[in-house]
Amino acid sequence: MTTLSVVIPAFNEEANVAAVTARTRAVLEELGVDWSIVFVDDGSRDRTVERIRAENAADPRVQGLILSRNFGKEIAIAAGLRAAKGDAVVVMDADLQHPPETIRTFHEAWTGGAEVVLGRRRVEDALGSRRRQFASRLFYPVFRALAGMSLEPGTVDFVLLDRKAVDALNRFDERARFTKGLFHWIGFQTATIAFDCEVRHGGNSSFNFRRLSRFALDGIISFSSFPLRVWSGIGAAISLGSILYALYFFVRTLILGADVPGFPSLIVAITFLSGIQLLSLGVFGEYLSRIYEEVKARPLYLVREEIGTGPLKIAPPGGAAA
């Protein structure tokens, strides 16, 4: 029988564990597959772990991977993919903004030959504030221009992955992850399913605008070196401008004679060039900090506790689960 695993990263989701389990279980039972649900608790400070234990006591197919601290959602997804044992693996949020009923459509696409089934929001209004909607619409064309990879607007990390795709992703050990980009990067036969994003069932989202902005920056830096290369062009343009400016003053002095240099223009030039230098150093620093994190070669995550047995088995870094 086909096996299907559902990976659900969770951080302070005590209000949602029971609801997302009930709705997901109903869909999986309807599909008639051998299934498991793997919650990945990412260092929750509420009673999320207790809720997972309660669900496991009621149904051992609901399992938990409890990380030692908060490593971030992207790492929690990586941990869940290494723990999941299904022929196909669904990744979804715990807050029910990703409706579990969409798994039916994902499953149909998978049985029809798709190896990666991506979920895409039908409307951006589900993002909430206008600032977040505007930032989301701006991100996709910028990412496409800089990384050379086309992400459909509204694509989220609600996805079904064939075992081949899961094994491919389990080979990645990078820490600064942009999972949505990795889903595209690995290739395979891909289908996109549009869905209506629901309102959050309970609790509060931990993703504020600052964290989302940082996440977007991680995505661009993970898939593009253009921000590094662009400074060569900027430096060349500034140098050419300074040469032309010097030639202008040279010709002007020959024709009109020397005059007293202007203090404001000097200050403007100094502050402008200083700002350019600091900005370029900041970009270099962003890349260097990521190199620093990678070369330390620390584990992606540490597991404090496993709840449940059977299909839950963690794959070693750089490889698929045995």
Same domain, 57 and 185: yes
Predicted local confidence at residue 52, as pLDDT: 92
Q: CB–CB of 81/310 below 8 Å?
A: no
Q: What CA–CA distance (Å, rounded) separates 139 from 131?
A: 12
Cα separation of 246 and 256, whole Å? 15
- Contact (Cβ atoms closer than 8 angstroms) between residue 41 and residue 65: yes
Domain that holds residue 25: 3-224+301-307
**Please, are residues 72 and 175 in contact by the beta-carbon 8 Å criterion?**
no
Whether 313 is in a domain gets the answer no
Residues 26 and 72 in one domain: yes
Kindly report whether the global pTM for this prediction surpasses the value 0.85. Answer: no
Residues 278, 135, single domain; the answer is no
Q: What pLDDT is attached to residue 96?
A: 87
49 with 41: CB under 8 angstroms? yes
Q: Has residue 321 been placed in a domain?
A: no
195 and 208 share a domain? yes
Position 256 scores a pLDDT of 67
- Paired with 199 in beta bridges are none
The reply to whether 187 and 87 lie within a common domain is yes
88 with 34, same domain: the answer is yes
How many Å is the Cα radius of gyration of the chain? 25
Residues 239 and 115 both lie in one domain: no
Residue 283 maps to a domain:
yes
Number of folded domains in the chain? Answer: 2
Pairing of strands 303-307, 34-41: unpaired
Check whether residue 100 and residue 177 sit in a common domain: yes
> Same domain, yes or no, for 219 and 232?
no
Q: Tens of pLDDT along the chain (322 residues)? A: 688 999 999 988 888 899 999 999 999 988 888 899 999 998 888 889 999 999 988 888 999 999 988 888 888 988 899 988 888 999 998 888 889 999 999 999 998 889 999 888 876 555 555 666 666 666 666 666 666 666 676 778 888 999 999 998 888 877 777 777 788 888 888 888 888 877 765 555 555 556 666 656 666 666 666 666 676 677 777 767 767 776 776 677 667 665 556 655 666 667 677 777 777 777 777 777 777 777 777 788 888 888 885 545 555 555 444 3
With respect to residue 322, please indicate whether it lies within any of the assigned structural domains.
Answer: no
- The whole-number pLDDT of residue 21 equals 93
CATH assignment at residue 63: 3.90.550.10
Distance, in Å, from the CA atom of 284 to the CA atom of 228, rounded to the nearest integer, reads 7
Same domain (yes/no): 260, 168: no
Statement to judge: residues 120 and 60 lie in one domain: yes
Q: Is 205 helix (H, G, I), strand (E, B) or coil?
A: coil
For residues 93 and 239, membership in a common domain is answered with no
Contacts (Cβ under 8 Å, ≥6 apart) of 298: 175
